[in-house]
Structure 1
């Protein structure tokens, strides 16, 4: 399935797997370290054409980067392999772990993560493992597994043993991680899978919409796309949802871009406000004062400087004609 075919529920599932797997372990430490990792607050994914962009709250993307490097994620194929292996292990019931894989382990989805998986149950982006793949994992987490020669195969072996608490194995050292997928902007590289390097206090989905905006504004737009899709582990907080509702009207009126968001989303909303995303005034002032306000970087908890979410968006040129 090409990236362009993914829908919002597919992105919810990806975000949930990334969120859960990242927090399970310290992906920089050795296999002897079986301690639980630290909490990840938010992961959101955005699809633009054949590229996937992933954002987190604050500086959490740095931990996702280490998780991706440990699994050798460099392209869509290795990303999907990582998602499939992690999802299979995280959703496995404790009572079936020993019968299926020969050992118990602590990694599993939290309550909110299970809720997100249930919401995204219709997704077909992450397929179940085959019997042969389950046997492969069972062999990987044995006391003395066969150590492959191929570096990427070693990464998968090491990462699966890390996630399942299988511990050290004779002849297996931590392989060098794959290249980082972190990027600050849309045009930094042409990777299919991209991790947004943004530690500012905006919530993850607003960071992604800031990047989307930067592909459209100015005299030389970076992309001619007319659609984008967003989905994350959590439903947007009340303030972000209000900001997004206003933003969606502007980006449609200004650039004829449609944003697909998770539909009929009854999940509990995230908490907090965060900041509005920041784009320098001189880059957006041609689009009017409301757009400057959308991207002024202030605390996202007061909407007095923005139009009502249910009001039609009037472009500056239209205002002059009236």
Structure 2
């Protein structure tokens, strides 16, 4: 039997989200039914609800930063039990057979791609719906355990913002002796600063202004510079091993690439809606790299949660009611949040 649950959905592109009901599938043999307690609001939700990244599926229930408690498990489930604290991130399935899936890189599935938590079609042919809802049913292999040391409300954003920054920082070997610049101190950026500092790197924040400097230093940065000041790019030329760009607006990539050392990498995790442009000479002169990264696989997401629990790293959040979602969207677009909105799903 399917379950009818309350949710908040965008009925059409760019339309305000509104309260509705959706059907969750019956709990299958390997499924976990989760009572969602908190759901983070990611800028990706806004891009997709407003079709900034292309044609989308409506009505859309966004949300891929999900934290809750297991309410029911299928007869074949071995990883979780009723009462466990769990999370669901950006994907709920993949082909499971390609080389990437077998290597735990499900986010790079080549057998049809991952099935996203919302704005996608599941293997049952039905649209997926995300975390702005009271319950969700997910295969146990795409659920992660939230350690006891992490409160569920500050853990929810880790399922996207946390893993989106942790994965590239680990891949590009952020750690002692490395200088890391984080571009933008927002939902992604503030977690990038916390994680890079906890990994042992020397962290610099590059932001448009010095408005959030005190916050950046408290979060773990050693330095903080305003990119609106041309002198910043003169003074920091050739400084960084890694630049983690978390903003989703086009930048002067040639200027930022000049800040890398030889063999340095600029990794983009904010995805602009518009094309970006660079001069190849900006990378060729010092064997610099311009790259990107997409979330993380299930094993790495669990590793990230365990790391954050060990280092007491939760997101900085503003808890809101469900009827504040549309206001929160506007505030995210205007960079008016420190640093992640989280919906108390009991208010849906």
| TM-score, length of structure 2 as denominator length | 0.23
Larger radius of gyration: 1
